[in-house]
Amino acid sequence: MESSERDQEEATSESAKKLQEYEATVAQQNAIQEEIKKAQPLVGKAVSPSALSPEYTDNVKPGFLKGIEYLSKRYARLRPVRGDGNCFYRALTFALLENLVLKLRSGDAAAAQAAKAEAQRLVDKGKPMKESCQTLLSLGYEEVSFDMFSAELLEALEGIETTTPESLEAKFNEDGGSGEYIMWFCRLLTSAFIKSHPSRFESFLIGDTVDTFCAREVEPLGVECEQLQIIALCEQLDIGVRIEYLNGEDFDASKGLDAVPVNMDGRQEAAAELLFRPGHYDILYTA
């Protein structure tokens, strides 16, 4: 037995190389993630949209600088979000909660009342919490697998009246913290909607079932989202968002960029205004 083992040991020198390659790849991926962590807060401070210009001064596409100029007129501020593949989910959840906080503290009684009602809707009879958790259980998810995550979103919504913009920022800036739990729960809510409406989505999933698609493209952290996930999450939360697309294409400056509404039918206000640039989402503010 010992000699056969030695043969095997020698024959695995190729395997040793493979292991090294594999470990090097993992180490490199980790190093990239670490760099991103150091360079970008999870949720940054709001700045003027014109702060994006330096990134594009040498860009050959004419639409970027022109688009940033347009955005600077249309929007007061832009909040950068860490580009680690989770940016859409993080931008949406942060903006959704921050909008409620800002309205509650705006001094406008009607707006505050509306925000309170919206938070209550999300907690209570709305889809996200109780109904969503029921959906997840009926889809076969075990409570233990999402309980701590749904609890964070629930707690954020129930505590919205005592939340300040600063405490919300702090909550979302802790690595592995509460904001990250809320962000991942929104991935799970996205999955819940897609899986409970398979006929609506299956024709878009080439070679995938809703289950395999969600396991690969929705639930793992760090996987970027596409239009399909955005629609699913908005419908699950029963909210609408507006997304500006800054992709470098030239456009008619008098008309502006196309702010694309998602699930905005019958709504006046978007729960979040977002900016898309290829591969990335940030938050926009009109005021």
Q: Toward other proteins, which CB reaches closer, 118 or 180? A: 180
Q: In what order do the strands lie in the sheet with 241-245?
A: 77-79, 280-285, 272-277, 241-245, 259-262
User: Encoding tokens for residue 47?
Assistant: 């700045």
User: Encoding tokens for residue 273?
Assistant: 């205004």
Q: Toward other proteins, which CB reaches closer, 180 or 244? A: 180
CB 149 within 8 A of CB 181: yes
Q: Toward other proteins, which CB reaches closer, 99 or 236? A: 236
SS3 282: strand
Q: Toward other proteins, which CB reaches closer, 216 or 267? A: 216
Residues of this chain, 101-160, that bind other proteins according to CB under 8 A: 141-149
Q: Answer yes or no whether residue 38 interacts with other proteins by CB under 8 A.
A: no
Query: Beta partners for 262?
Result: 241
Q: Answer yes or no whether residue 169 interacts with other proteins by CB under 8 A.
A: no
Q: Toward other proteins, which CB reaches closer, 104 or 225? A: 225
SS3 77: strand
Q: Answer yes or no whether residue 34 interacts with other proteins by CB under 8 A.
A: no
Q: Answer yes or no whether residue 207 interacts with other proteins by CB under 8 A.
A: no
- Using CB under 8 A, pick the residue from 178, 190, 229, 236 that binds other proteins: 178
Separation between Cα atoms, residue 54 and residue 52, nearest integer Å: 6
CB 236 within 8 A of CB 132: yes
Please state the φ and ψ torsions of residue 75, each to the nearest 5 degrees. -120, 145
Closest CB 220 distance from other proteins, rounded Å: 5
Q: Toward other proteins, which CB reaches closer, 56 or 213? A: 213
Q: Answer yes or no whether residue 31 interacts with other proteins by CB under 8 A.
A: no
Residues near other proteins, by CB under 8 A: 1, 4, 8-9, 11-12, 14-16, 18-19, 22-23, 26, 141-149, 174-178, 180-181, 184, 187-188, 215-216, 219-223
